[in-house]
Amino acid sequence: MKRKVMITIIAIISAFTLCGCENESVPAEVTGADVSETAAVSATVPESSGTASERASVSFAPAETEPEKTEAASSETTEAAVIAENQLDYSGRDFYLLMEFTGAESLQYYPRAVKLPNYRDDDFVIHSKFTITNLSEKSFDFIPQKITLYGSNNRDSGFMIPINARDTGLAASDGYYTVEAGETVSFDVDFVGDEVCVDYAYKIMYKAVGFREPNNVDPNELNNVSAAEFEITKRSAVKNAVRAGKDFQKEKSSSPSELVPREGEYSVLTHKNSFCFTAEPVSDGKYIKVALRVQCLTGEPEIFNPLRFRLYRTADKYSYAYRWEFDILLAGGKNPEVKNDLEGVSGTLYDTPWELAVRSDGSAEYTMYFQSSTYEPSEYYKFCYDGEKGDDVFECIINME
C-alpha cells in the first residue's frame, strides 16, 4: 500500500513538472482570478485538442512566472489595503483596476432615461468611477458597456449594466478606451437596473466578448479586448463597496430645506415641496411670465404634469401655459418642440412637455408664459398647481396691478 502511495505522489509531481515546462513555451492567458484574494496568478494552458471549456487550469506562484509583473501587482495590492469603504479593486497580471462607487438613486430623477424602452419606473442607477492601469507591455481596448453588476437577496435577484444612451443626464458608456502600456485611464460608469443591486450587490464582472445589444461597440473590431477581463465574486467586498457608495452620496448631500423667497417672489409651502415664483406681464402685457422655483422636501422623486399649472382670472376662468423654459433634462419622453415664437422674449422656448421632473437634489426651475393679449394683466389673480388626487396641490393669490 505504501508503495502505491509513493508511486501516486511521484506521478502527481511529474505531472506538475510537465505542466511547468509547457508553460514556458505556451503563452499564459489571464483567467480573471483575483490576485488580491489569492496568492497565485491563475492561468489557462490550452491543450493540443479539445474545447476552451476543457482546458487545464494551473496555478503558478507569481515569482516563478513574471517577476517584474508580480512586483507591480504586489505594490498595487499593498495600495488596495488602504482603499476607502466605497472602493473596490482588482489586481490582474496585466492590469490593476480601482472602482469607486459614488452614489445610488432612483432612475426617476432622470426622466429622459426612465422613458427609454429598456428601463422601468422602479429601476435604480448606481454612479461609479473606474480607473484602470495597464501593467503589461501591450495596449488593450476596454469597453465599459461590457461590465455587469449583479445583486441578490433571498429570492430577489437582478443585474445592472452601464447605460449607453446620451442626453439623459447620466454618463453614457457608448464607446471604448485604448489603454496603452503603462498608462492609466479613468472614466465614469452609471449602472442602471434592478434596485436589489444597490444594497445586495454580490458580483461584478467584465467580459469583452459575448452578449451584444444593437448599437453597442463591436469587440471584434478592436484590439486585445480580452486582456482586462475580470470577475470579482467576493460577495461581502462587492456589497459593502456599493452600499458604502450610496451612503457616501447621502453624507455629501445636505438635507433639503425650504426655499428662501427672493425680492418680488411669492412663496408657498406644502407637505412635500417648497415653491417660490414671480408673476409679471411681459411684451407690453401680451404674456404673463411665471418663473417658478421648486425644492422637493421628501427626498423622493417628484413628477409634475405641466397642464396642471394654471393661471386664473376673474370669473374663475383659467389658462394653460403657452410656452415654456426649463432644463431639457427635466423633461420626460421625447424632446418637446422648440417654439421661439414669442415677440420680445429671448431664450429657448418649448412647447408644453409631457411631464416635468426635479433633479436628484430635489430642485427644479420652470418658466411659463401664459397668453393674455385679450385681457388686462390685472385681471389675473391666482396661480396654482391643480394636481390630481395624491398630487402636491397648491394655490397662491397674486396681485399684478
Angle, CA 222 vertex, CA 218 and CA 228 arms, to 5°: 100
Note the pLDDT tens digit of each residue in 210-259: 665 656 888 888 999 999 999 999 999 999 999 999 988 777 666 788 99
75: pLDDT strictly greater than 60 = no
What pTM does this model have? 0.74
Mean pLDDT of the chain: 80
- Label residue 13 by pLDDT band (50, 70, 90): very low
Note the pLDDT tens digit of each residue in 138-187: 999 999 999 999 999 999 999 999 999 999 999 999 999 999 999 999 99
pLDDT at 392: 82
Note the pLDDT tens digit of each residue in 47-62: 333 333 333 333 323 3
Cell numbers that stand for 266 in this block: 411669492
Which residue bears the cell 492609466? 184
pLDDT at 316: 78
pLDDT at 12: 41
Cell numbers that stand for 223 in this block: 484590439
Query: Average of pLDDT values for 198-203?
Result: 97
Which residue bears the cell 426655499? 259
Query: Average of pLDDT values for 372-401?
Result: 86
Query: Average of pLDDT values for 109-131?
Result: 94
64: pLDDT strictly greater than 50 = no
d(CA 266, CA 384): 12
pLDDT at 2: 39
Per the CB < 8 A criterion, the answer to whether 345 and 283 are in contact is: yes
d(CA 276, CA 341): 27
Q: Which residues contact 125 (CB under 8 A, 6 or more apart)?
A: 104, 105, 106, 107, 109, 110, 113, 163, 170, 190, 191, 192
d(CA 395, CA 23): 78
d(CA 205, CA 188): 16
The beta strands (E) that lie in 107-217 are given as 124-134, 140-142, 147-153, 156-162, 177-179, 184-193, 201-206
DSSP result, 60-101: E-HHHH-HHHHHHHHHHHHHHTT--TTEEEEE-SSEEEEEEE
Q: Which residues of 334-348 are buried (b: 16+ CB within 10 A; e: fewer)?
A: eebeeeeebeebeee
Q: Which residues contact 368 (CB under 8 A, 6 or more apart)?
A: 289, 290, 292, 309, 311, 321, 323, 324
204: pLDDT strictly greater than 90 = yes
